[in-house]
């Protein structure tokens, strides 16, 4: 079978335009703000510039003002956007909005799309995705879900506590996962609800202080207390929430990898520039074998990550579940990106850990990726179980 890894001329052109936009417009703003966008003014300025450059919303369909890229196209464009911590925000492809848009396009009703997807896709509003709960609730094991929703008249009453809800501060709505049947430990019986931020039953409790700071809106603890929503707030079908979560999580896992791969490349570029000018012991850093090894290992990690992302996206574009390949890619990329930034920082010495360049910021930002979208251990556990099941199936033939 012939394998063609080239992109269509339209996608290739968008990749080039995104690269130039990020280099010329986004990186200077990112450096000016130390990699953390804290105000709506910054977000609006970035998004206006992305619209002017014709690179805004590459992932949503043209009907909602986007470029309608498939997963393989997204892989190339998101990597370019991810070259700066501000790139995803500028293009409106940052987490969690990007994953929410993907899911809304896939399963929302027409009315829900007009009300929630349209303003989200054009950057008018932001959103959040509320799944994780403090112990003993849902975390790496979503089936532990304790937040519940019960019938109340024509609608639903939601009660529960969520935390680590990225972007909750300032979001116009939340997609809240709640149990509508079964009990904690069961992998069925969850439903997704669209909850408007002005609902008096949804309360933002506190910002959680975390290692990372660049995901816009921070991470919050959120309480749903007798939160009443109408039947039209159900996203998809009742009791199908875990199935829909997969619609969001598989691609969202890959888009995180794409964006962070951009940061790995940026870290490598910073390290290579430093290695080619800094002199120690009478030679440039780049002429020393151990530094060359770190530069080479970064290239290997970057190339391998891109290859695994491409494989998983290829499967997703063909409508396959890609459960194994997204788990493999996510685990590898999360660890490879960390290794790349860490090596780059080592090459830069004390400059690397200083606030004079953004490497130490990158290191803080990439570390949590080994935990969200499934910790590495959870993915390795799933990968191994699939391999063992395959072995059992083949050996009984």
Q: Which stretch binds ligand FAD (CB under 6 A): 46-54, 130-138, 280-288, 319-327?
A: 130-138
> Which residues contact residue 389 at a Cβ distance below 8 angstroms, ignoring those fewer than 6 apart?
none
> Which residues contact residue 380 at a Cβ distance below 8 angstroms, ignoring those fewer than 6 apart?
331
Confirm or reject binding of residue 250 to ligand FAD (CB under 6 A). no
Given candidates 77, 145, 165, 258, which one binds ligand FAD under the rule CB under 6 A?
165
Site for ligand FAD in 70-129 (CB under 6 A): 96, 128-129
Tokens of 359: 């490497």
Task: Name the residue nearer to ligand FAD (CB basis): 187 or 293.
Answer: 187
Residue 368 three-state SS: helix
Confirm or reject binding of residue 171 to ligand FAD (CB under 6 A). no
Tell me how far apart the alpha carbons of residues 264 and 297 are, in angstroms, rounded to a whole number.
12
Given candidates 34, 68, 155, 368, which one binds ligand FAD under the rule CB under 6 A?
368
Task: Name the residue nearer to ligand FAD (CB basis): 43 or 256.
Answer: 256
Task: Name the residue nearer to ligand FAD (CB basis): 134 or 349.
Answer: 134
Tokens of 389: 């099941």
Tokens of 309: 């992302």
On whether the CB atoms of residues 262 and 86 are closer than 8 A, the answer is no
DSSP string, 308-367: HHHHHHHHHHTT---HHHHHHHHHHHHHHHHHHHHHHHHHHTHHHHSSSSSHHHHHHHHG
Given candidates 127, 166, 214, 298, which one binds ligand FAD under the rule CB under 6 A?
166
For 246, half-sphere exposure in the C-beta direction (CA atoms, 13 angstrom radius) is: 14
The widest CA-to-CA distance across the chain, in whole angstroms, is 79
Confirm or reject binding of residue 377 to ligand FAD (CB under 6 A). yes
Of the candidates 65, 64, 81, the one whose C-alpha atom is nearest the C-alpha of residue 14 is 81
Confirm or reject binding of residue 240 to ligand FAD (CB under 6 A). no
Tokens of 230: 């109408």
Angle at 80 between CA 77 and CA 85, to 5 degrees: 120
Given candidates 66, 73, 139, 262, which one binds ligand FAD under the rule CB under 6 A?
139
Cβ at position 370, least distance to ligand FAD in Å:
8
Cβ at position 287, least distance to ligand FAD in Å:
39
Given candidates 21, 64, 164, 242, which one binds ligand FAD under the rule CB under 6 A?
164
Given candidates 131, 190, 264, 358, which one binds ligand FAD under the rule CB under 6 A?
131
Confirm or reject binding of residue 223 to ligand FAD (CB under 6 A). no
DSSP character at residue 372: T
Given candidates 7, 378, 383, 386, which one binds ligand FAD under the rule CB under 6 A?
378
Confirm or reject binding of residue 193 to ligand FAD (CB under 6 A). no
**Count of beta carbons in the 10 Å neighbourhood of residue 191:** 25
Cβ at position 371, least distance to ligand FAD in Å:
5
Of the candidates 338, 277, 270, the one whose C-alpha atom is nearest the C-alpha of residue 302 is 338
**Interacting residues with ligand FAD (CB under 6 A):** 96, 128-132, 139-140, 164-166, 210, 212, 219, 368, 371-372, 375, 377-378, 381
């Amino acid at each position: 079978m012939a394998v063609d890894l080239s992109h269509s001329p339209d996608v290739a052109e968008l990749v080039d335009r995104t690269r130039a936009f990020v280099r010329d417009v986004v990186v200077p703003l990112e450096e000016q703000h130390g990699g953390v966008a804290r105000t709506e003014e910054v977000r609006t300025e970035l998004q206006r510039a992305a619209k002017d450059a014709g690179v805004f919303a590459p992932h949503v369909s043209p009907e909602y003002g986007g470029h309608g890229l498939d997963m393989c196209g997204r892989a190339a464009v998101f990597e370019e956007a991810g070259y700066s911590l501000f790139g995803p925000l500028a293009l409106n492809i940052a987490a969690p909005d990007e994953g929410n848009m993907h899911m809304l396009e896939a399963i929302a009703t027409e009315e829900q799309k007009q009300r929630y997807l349209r303003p989200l896709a054009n950057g008018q509003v932001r959103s959040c995705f509320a799944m994780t709960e403090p112990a003993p609730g849902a975390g790496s094991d979503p089936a532990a879900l304790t937040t519940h929703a019960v019938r109340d008249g024509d609608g639903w009453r939601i009660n529960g506590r969520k935390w680590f809800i990225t972007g909750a501060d300032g979001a116009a709505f939340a997609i809240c996962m709640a149990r509508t049947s079964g009990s904690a430990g069961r992998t069925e019986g969850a439903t997704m609800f669209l909850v408007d931020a002005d609902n008096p039953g949804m309360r933002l409790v506190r910002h959680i202080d975390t290692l990372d700071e660049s995901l816009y809106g921070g991470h919050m603890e959120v309480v749903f207390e007798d939160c009443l929503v109408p039947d039209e707030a159900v996203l998809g079908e009742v009791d199908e929430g875990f199935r829909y979560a997969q619609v969001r999580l598989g691609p969202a896992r890959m888009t995180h990898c794409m964006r962070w791969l951009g940061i790995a490349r940026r870290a490598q570029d910073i390290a290579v520039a430093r290695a080619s000018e800094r002199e120690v012991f009478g030679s440039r850093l780049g002429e020393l074998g151990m530094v060359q090894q770190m530069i080479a290992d970064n290239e290997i990690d970057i190339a391998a990550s891109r290859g695994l992302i491409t494989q998983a996206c290829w499967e997703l574009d063909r409508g396959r579940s890609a459960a194994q390949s997204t788990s493999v890619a996510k685990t590898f990329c999360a660890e490879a990106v960390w290794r790349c930034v860490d090596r780059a920082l080592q090459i830069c010495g004390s400059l690397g850990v200083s606030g004079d360049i953004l490497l130490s910021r990158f290191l803080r930002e990439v570390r949590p990726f080994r935990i969200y979208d499934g910790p590495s251990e959870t993915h390795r556990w799933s990968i191994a179980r699939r391999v063992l099941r395959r072995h059992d199936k083949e050996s009984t033939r």
